[in-house]
Chain A
Amino acid sequence: MRGLFLASACVCVLAVGVICVFLFANGLPFFRAYSPVAFVSGTEWAPLRDVFGILPMIVGSFYVTFGALLLGAPVGILTAILMSRFASRPVVRFMKPAVALLAGIPSVVYGFFGMIVLVPFVRHAFGGTGKSVLVASILLAIMILPTIIQTAEAAISAVPGSYYEGSLALGATHEGSVFRAVVPAARPGIVSGLVLGIGRAIGETTAIIMVAGNNPRMPGDILKGVRTLTVNVLMEMGYAADLHRESLIATGVVLFVIVLAINFLFSFINRRRVQQ
């Protein structure tokens, strides 16, 4: 029985290990032909002339992820607080499956929704082509909502009842107790929900490719197009050959390193807070 548990755990670890090895083995040869510094700091992407600069895509990935967090985090956290401390039981019984359903919608469906509904809406309301940083951020915000809500809700519900009751006993209102005593106590859980959300946003591809315009130049205006790292890989893999193809795998390596760095950074922050 013990062996079965061990084997199950090994599958997961092995998958991570194998993916790491293969990604780096296939991606690193590119840097022998092309300078890594020029790759991550170059602002021009013209693969047919062998010019590979992915800084616009790195900035683009952070841009839409930040936008998604700006829109999604307040909505998600407030929804979680509502579900945990304010809503009546029938409302919660309706909301939980609704949020779970939101998490289960395939990203291509989100992309289609964005393309057919959000893009024309933004085009008519604000001008431009509609395919923009704004639409990509809105769509990603909706997509990361379930992750944030579910993690934050679990964290808030796990705060011991004595915190809330103690606050009430000191004369605080229901709102005051929830926002001043319960939510701060649940902060590590809420932060990890946000980190999971960031991870989902930065890795999303299919939905973004349909609404972002995918322009390989430095992003700027919120109503103009943007290309993320993930989109760069998926978009050009079909036709890429030789160095161009290797550059796309190297783009994947850069993305992988960024995601790893974000995860380490947040676990470091969390650990320091616990120690304090």
Chain B
Amino acid sequence: MKLRKILALVLALTAVSAVALAEFDASKTIAVVSREEGSGTRGAFIELTGIATKDAEGKEVDNTYAEADFVNGTSLVMTTVAENEYAVGYASLSSVLHNESVKSIKVDGVEASTENILNQTYPIARPFNVVTKGELADPLAKDFMAFVMSADGQAVVAEDGLVPVAADAPAYTAANLSGNLSIGGSTSVAPVMELLVEAYSALNPNAVLDVQSTGSTAGVTGALDGTYGIGMASRALKDSEKEAGAVGTAIGIDGIAVIVSPVNPVENLSLEQVRQVFVGEITAWADLNQ
């Protein structure tokens, strides 16, 4: 009898807390979830949303909210956000697309989708470019680019979490060239480039390719002065660089989705609101007045 009473009480309490969970209380504090220092996703996110600013010496300052919850890994960001109905986080689009436990919200009214990243309407995205000086002349560089833009190369790009740029690319047939090719530039593009080089070298064992991560600007300058056969840049080319003869080709696009719990009624934030939330200028959901 006593046991049954306790059981009933426990059940009632569970029911009450379940109802409490289902209701979203907008007056609550926003639980900001961010990645750790050094994460590529964090680097891209703070740059694209304006969380990063430059100090007097021109060094980049990361203004991410000090009270944010810092987690080390995309999956941990998603678990944390899924588990807390007042949380907001960010993760690479490819990992969010097939995950039902979190909801990605629109930014400036644009849904985070592969399509909107390709037509450049979704704001938190950046192209991963390869940079060449005019048309490529070196046959090895030409063949490597053909591989990158082929179905095989784009599959590698997609596997690394980027949105591929060429949808119906032809398959690649190895030309089995030999020679040396030096690739250098953006530290963000380097990891996927290394995967591409690895896949290419497996098909063309006589070619020797090396990848150096030195930064986007160094990648463009290197491509222009011939230090690199192919340069890498994780941003669009500047007008001055184009005038000097640099040609940029996107090999994939890096998109970052802003995610909340599926219980959260918020559907849309402006890019400025995203910045304000992640630097801690807005701390309650009610202050967002969508």
Which residues of A line the B interface, CB within 8 A? 45-49, 115-116, 119-120, 123-124, 127-131, 209-210, 213-217, 224-225, 227, 234-236, 238-241, 244
**Cα(A151)–Cα(B71), bound, Å:** 35
> With the chains together, A216 CA to B37 CA distance in Å?
10
Q: Which of B58-66, B101-109, B228-236 contacts A (4 or more CB under 8 A)?
A: B58-66
> Cβ of A234: which chain B residues have Cβ within 8 Å of it?
72
Once A49-B60, A124-B17 are accepted as A-B contacts, the answer to whether A238 and B84 lie under 8 Å apart by CB is no
Contact of A215 with B36 in the complex, beta carbons under 8 Å: no
CB closest chain-B residue, reference A240: B38
A116 to B76, CA, bound (A): 12
Residue of B nearest to A123 (CB): B84
Query: Do A239 and B60 touch across chains, with their CB atoms under 8 A apart?
Result: no
B29 within 8 A of partner (CB): yes
| Residues of A close to B37: CB separation below 8 A | 45-48, 216, 236, 239, 244
With A129-B29, A236-B72 already in contact, the answer to whether A48 and B67 are too (CB < 8 A) is: no
Known interface pairs A236-B36, A236-B38, A244-B38; A213-B69 also in contact (CB < 8 Å):
yes
Set of chain B residues within 8 Å of A124, measured between Cβ atoms: 17, 20
Query: From residue A213, how far is it (CB to closest CB) to chain B in Å?
Result: 5
Instruction: Write out the residue numbers on chain A whose beta carbons fall within 8 Å of the beta carbon of B71.
Output: 209, 214
- In the complex, what residues of B have CB within 8 A of residue A213's CB? 68-70
Q: What is the size, in residues, of chain B's interface with A at 8 Å between Cβ atoms?
A: 29
Enumerate the 4 nearest inter-chain pairs by beta-carbon distance, A residue then B residue, closest first.
A239-B38, A214-B70, A129-B31, A217-B66
Tell whether, in the assembled complex, residue A214 and residue B67 are in contact, meaning their CB atoms are under 8 Å apart: no
Identify the B interface with A (CB < 8 A): 17, 20, 28-29, 31, 36-40, 43, 59-62, 66-72, 76, 79-80, 83-84, 86-87
Closest-by-CB residue of A relative to B57 is A49
Residues of chain A with a CB closer than 8 A to B38's CB: 47-48, 236, 238-241, 244
A49 cross-chain contacts in B, Cβ below 8 A: 59-62
A130 to chain B: closest CB distance in Å? 7
Whether A235 contacts B67 by the Cβ 8 Å rule is no
**Chain B residue contacts of A47, Cβ below 8 A:** 37-38
Option from B17, B62, B70 in Cβ contact (under 8 Å) with A227: B70
Contact of B40 among A116, A119, A235, A239 (CB under 8 A): A239
**Chain A: which residue is nearest B70 at the CB level?**
A214
Chain A residue at minimum C-beta to C-beta distance from B32: A129
Q: Do residues A131 and B69 form an inter-chain contact, with CB atoms below 8 A? A: yes
* Residue with the highest number of chain A CB atoms closer than 10 Å, among B28, B38, B66, B80: B38
Known: A49-B60, A215-B67. A209 touches B72 (CB 8 A): yes
Q: How far is the CB of B185 from chain A (nearest CB, A)?
A: 16
Contact A238–B62 (Cβ < 8 Å): no
Measured in the bound complex, the distance between the Cα atoms of B112 and A86 in whole Å is: 63
Cα distance A214–B71 when bound, in Å? 7
With contacts A47-B37, A49-B60, A124-B17 known, is A115 near B72, CB below 8 A? no
Closest to A131 in B: B69
- Bound CA span A48–B72, Å: 16
Chain B: minimal CB distance from A104 (Å): 25
With known contacts A120-B83, A129-B31, A240-B38, A48–B69 Cβ distance under 8 A: no
Q: Is the CB of A239 within 8 A of B84?
A: no
With A127-B29, A236-B37 given, name 9 new contacts (CB 8 A). Answer: A45-B37, A46-B37, A48-B43, A49-B60, A119-B84, A129-B87, A216-B70, A235-B36, A239-B37
Q: List chain A residues, Cβ under 8 A from B20.
A: 124
A224 and B67: CB pair below 8 A? yes
Name the B residues within 8 Å of A46 (CB-CB): 37, 61-62
Report how far A47 CA is from B37 CA in the complex, Å: 7
Q: Which of B40, B67, B83 contacts A115 (CB 8 A)?
A: B83
Verify A225–B67 contact, CB threshold 8 A.
yes
Please measure, in the bound complex, the distance between the C-alpha atom of A127 and the C-alpha atom of B20, giving whole angstroms.
14
Which residues of the partner chain A approach B68 to less than 8 Å between Cβ atoms?
A: 213, 215
Closest Cβ of chain A to B208, distance in Å, is 24
Task: Give CA–CA (A239, B44) in the complex, Å.
Answer: 14
Chain A hits for B40, CB < 8 A: 239
By a CB distance below 8 angstroms, the chain A residues around B86 are 129
A214 to B43, CA, bound (A): 18
Is A120 in contact with B67, judged by CB distance below 8 angstroms? no
